[in-house]
Amino acid sequence: MKAVLADSEVWSSTKDTVVLMDYEGGERAITWLSKVSKELGDMLAQSVCSNDFRFKEAQVMVSYTHGHLPSKRIVFAGLGKKELFNINKVRIAIASAVNHVRQMGVKELAVRVAGHDLGVEDGAFATAVVESAILTHHKYDIHKTEKDQVFLERIVLAAQGKVKEIEPSVRYAIVVASKTVMARDLENMGSTEKPPKMIVDYVKKFSSGRIKVTALMKKDLKRMGAGGILAVNRGSSHEPYLLVMEYNSSKKNLPLVALVGKGIIFDSGGHSIKDACNMELMKCDLCGAVGVIHATMAAAELDLPVRIVAISALTENAIGPDAYKPGDFIKTMSGKTVEILNTDAEGRLILADALHYAKGFKPEYLIDMATLTGACFIALGSECAGLFQTDDDLRRMLMKSGEETWERLWPMPMWDEYGELMKSDFADLKNVVANGRTGGGAITAAKFLQNFVDKNQKWAHIDIAGVDWVEAEKDYRPKGATGYGVRLLTRFLADLSKQHY
């Protein structure tokens, strides 16, 4: 889908279809519509008064203009109750409109940039509209022999007298939403289609010339003593990689952010094998890495004034003749040793090496993202990710970015008592507290990772288990992988770059 700006009022910006949003009750929409067409205003008022259509959240109604306006149709979209409004209600309204008309004869939707009417900045409004339209429009259907016929081609933002002001926000939305769509497609892809080498080639192909890409292979990992990655990889027939992306690496005056992602291409659980129920979703155990990769691509395309080093640990956790086993001991890149109690707690092992490697770049901020624990999903469900951090300023920045993008975060405790539970009788650490039910699994996993981060490092761990996948289409999230983290991290990087300047 294309998104364009028009320096005109909304009624003359398209001959196709206009989207008109309002709070529940529709008073503003009725008044505004009546000014351009009394007949259409009366029609809308009648629909509202008869309770046929009330502008409730996600509610949509299509009406033909019958020649009273240049546009053929109006799509009325509800924002819900005024007192409950936030910027995400705009995304939901646009998603409802796009889903409703994408298979109708509608080719073009026009939306008036009216953020000030809703108490938000016009730029934020425009970003929400464009993001939602692109994210909603794209569905993962490459394996379908008979694809749904889609007519909708573009969304027009009518910004009379505001085009120059709004243009950066629209460009930002196009870039970030497009990268999120790419992330979703990669996450939805079957694991057999995307071995670690394919991810490396993908990044080399789609990274801009401004990103330096280095792929550390198995021989490099052996030389570096990356025992965590190598142990997890032992059951796989595919070579592991530590993928490094560097953006603006020569600009030492810019703040350096290290992004680290868990890239388990498929997680069988190893010898601690998972239940067959929902195991197909383990093709998404690389979502942390995919989010980090595409946020870095977005930052480069947007030319953000920030330095980034993005590190993705890529391997399968498979069962094979040489697969690592419960009771084994491994030595990580840091030199710390780990007793393996459960081979399904593999993500923290590959992140241990990746986090240690990231320390060598001396970043100002270090953020890792991973589908790490089922315990986080139990704690928080599917509406927010768990945030574990060592710095309050970093927490506030990430929480703000989460509210702006609606990829929300919730802060979790990082008390030392949880770290004590990860100590082993036979090694420096163990990779789970115990194989029985112990509680606090997301926290103990975060405390395990903290062992591989410097004490004075501004570090955050984001556990995205639960938000990486939706079982049924919801607003601008089609069924499947969500691409969570691309918009969150890009917004964080954009806000950080503004602070620097």
Q: What is the DSSP letter of 300?
A: H
Catalytic position from the list 89, 348, 430, 458: 348
**Token pair for residue 294?**
């595409």
Distance CA 355, CA 457 (A): 11
Distance CA 382, CA 393 (A): 25
Helices (H), 154-257: 163-188, 196-206, 218-224, 227-233
3-state secondary structure at position 401: helix
How many Cα atoms sit within 13 Å of 100 on the Cβ side?
Answer: 21
At 340, which amino acid appears? I
- Residue closest to 60 by CA, chosen among 42, 47, 46, 43: 47
CA distances from 265 to 113, 139, 189, 196, 197 (A): 41, 22, 10, 7, 11
Catalytic position from the list 28, 72, 162, 274: 274
- Residue closest to 147 by CA, chosen among 183, 101, 102, 181: 102
Length of the chain: 501
Active site residue 274: yes
Residue owning tokens 């503003």: 28
**Token pair for residue 477?**
């999230």
- Continuous segment of H or E residues that includes residue 158: strand 154-158
Distance CA 257, CA 494 (A): 12
Distance CA 394, CA 104 (A): 45
Q: What is the DSSP letter of 12?
A: G
Q: What is the DSSP letter of 83?
A: G
Which residues, in sequence order, are bridge partners of residue 429?
338
**Token pair for residue 55?**
């502008």
Residue 213 near residue 243 (C-beta atoms within 8 A) = yes
Distance CA 287, CA 464 (A): 8
- Residue closest to 47 by CA, chosen among 74, 70, 84, 17: 74
Please provide the DSSP assignment of 120-143 as one string.
Answer: S-HHHHHHHHHHHHHHHH----TT
- Residues serving a catalytic function are 274, 348
